[in-house]
Structure 1
């Protein structure tokens, strides 16, 4: 990746509600500058602290992406080089931070965001070739509580006098890890190939080396949020493993193509959806299953087991 942080043109007021048209010239100017100098990627901030997106009701639940319904089309228009979308910002506490706070501390509100904003966003952008990935939150350590007891994943005494919590000591490591885990799982379930990350503030909190501790390991995120995205290696079998029966209708929110892509991208030897006759209420139509198979058509990544020579 060779590029820059755009971050914002107008902090929290760039996307949705027809706002992009007033920022477009600056965004395009930066894209052109990146292209002219051999760059290929950029990082932008989307919701920030919930200033204008997503759409919240009076109780702090999310009901949509934005009031005017323009956000997705604005992003589609903008996606011209690899764009990494940072959803939230934890490095500051502004006047609308209470909206983000609700998502960090109330799982019902977080789920409302996932259902009504994140999944529609991910689904709409999943086939955009210039989508680089999603960064769940920028510098969540700005609002973490240091010096807090906990288990290996949640003890934050190592952050004593580190500067962490500069924007307000508001959230435990567990709060932040769950927030990341739930969104990352929703993204991967609905777009199995998209990259997902977190914008950590300092190596102190994203590596176990040099006196630091990685708060964002897969195991720590899963322990906090309870959401799992298992690879074939999780089962400890020294032999090929096929996911032999599955479907979208009872897939816990997974799309059928997301399921096939998950199998492909996570070391499984194959995927067989249930079932071609489609003669029951718990069975996908064959048309749906064809969509799943088609998601793997032509893939030849030998490192993922995608190209196998059969001699018949």
Structure 2
């Protein structure tokens, strides 16, 4: 067959286009699955707004990573969450510090076990394959609680600047560098409910000064090595606010953290306060208030980091999600997706996440 010059040109162009498609196939879900960023008071993925139709899956087996990690369970649970509209969950990377992280009695952190890293490698691979963004909570007030063998190691770490540096340099920065190319690690929660470390004698009654120094140093380490967002899961608005009733000041404000480390990277990128019904009599129910009315300053996004998975008093969880969205919160993470206690479970969570996904699909899985 003889082709005209014009037909040969068309064939050549079509061949080149086909080759380009083979080399760079179009990305499915071009926004969902991209790195999460902040724009004003909202979260973005791939240039599209994303709202975290989330959960807490803090552990399957206490101290999973480097301990009794069950990859099959996490794979199945991530799939079930995604199938029911959940796009994100919060996981405790260590539960009380007894497993995974290598810490000496004087508080020096030298790294982590091979099993810890191997289990986390699998976890983040599963998160990516199943389409679940992860908020990684590094430590909790439980690390400092006097009900386990090595609690003094953690108190020694956080009350000594050089030991904090060892934690940041030998664990947090390696953690960040190991997983920063995976956009499904969207944020790091530096500590679960540090309020109780300050308030509770069983947790040491440690000062805000030492806690803020840790937050500041860790935030600088994360921000200087990655684009992963940073938060602190505060137990009460009391310590996350300058304006709420009885507030003790926003302990994680830019000014508070940069007073400890004089660096613009010493900051959290968004707020994630916790709410349970005992708090309502003091500060109101955040789902039915704007973040500002609840007591937060308004320069950053705000989401609910923990809340009862059974819904707040007098409301269904479905109502809590929808009203939280209407009032300007950027996500909700109920406790828990897997029933670690009586606050909630998969069956109480998923009616709410399905309803929100059905009503706001483009915010949950933007494309």
Cα distance change on mapping 1:74 and 1:110 into 2, 3 Å: farther
- Structure 2: which 5+ residue stretches go unaligned? 1-51, 268-367
Pair 1:9-2:60 in alignment: yes
Cα distance change on mapping 1:224 and 1:136 into 2, 3 Å: same
Q: Relative contact order: is structure 1 or structure 2 higher (C-alpha 8 Å, sep ≥ 6)?
A: 2
Pair 1:223-2:277 in alignment: no
Could you tell me the TM-score, scaled by structure 1's length?
Answer: 0.61
> Which among 236, 240, 248 is matched to residue 202 of structure 1?
236
Deviation at 1:72, TM superposition (A): 4.4
Pair 1:51-2:111 in alignment: no
Cα distance change on mapping 1:229 and 1:130 into 2, 3 Å: same
Is contact 2:107–2:155 with CA below 8 Å preserved after alignment? no
Is contact 1:82–1:130 with CA below 8 Å preserved after alignment? yes
> Which among 156, 161, 169 is matched to residue 115 of structure 1?
169
Cα distance change on mapping 1:59 and 1:181 into 2, 3 Å: same
**What is the alpha-carbon distance in structure 2 between the residues aligned to residue 225 and residue 105 of structure 1?**
15
**What is the alpha-carbon distance in structure 2 between the residues aligned to residue 219 and residue 84 of structure 1?**
24
- Structure 1: which 5+ residue stretches go unaligned? 145-163, 232-312
Pair 1:102-2:156 in alignment: yes
Deviation at 1:89, TM superposition (A): 0.3
Deviation at 1:229, TM superposition (A): 2.1
Task: Please list, as runs of the form range in 1=range in 2, the aligned pairs for 1:188-199 lying within 5 A after superposition.
Answer: 188-191=223-226, 193-199=227-233
**What is the alpha-carbon distance in structure 2 between the residues aligned to residue 34 and residue 105 of structure 1?**
39
Is contact 1:2–1:41 with CA below 8 Å preserved after alignment? yes
Greater gyration radius: 2
Partner of 1:143: 197
Cα distance change on mapping 1:113 and 1:168 into 2, 3 Å: closer
Cα deviations across residues 215-258 of structure 1 (Å, max 9, x unaligned)?
A: 11011011124443289xxxxxxxxxxxxxxxxxxxxxxxxxxx
**What is the alpha-carbon distance in structure 2 between the residues aligned to residue 123 and residue 65 of structure 1?**
14
Could you tell me the TM-score, scaled by structure 2's length?
Answer: 0.52
**What is the alpha-carbon distance in structure 1 between the residues aligned to residue 206 and residue 175 of structure 2?**
26
Deviation at 1:36, TM superposition (A): 1.3
Is contact 1:3–1:34 with CA below 8 Å preserved after alignment? no
Partner of 1:185: 220
Pair 1:128-2:182 in alignment: yes
Is contact 2:95–2:140 with CA below 8 Å preserved after alignment? yes
Cα distance change on mapping 1:25 and 1:115 into 2, 3 Å: same
Aligned to 1:64, what secondary structure does the other structure show? strand
Partner of 2:139: 88
Task: Please list, as runs of the form range in 1=range in 2, the aligned pairs for 1:236-247 lying within 5 A after superposition.
Answer: none
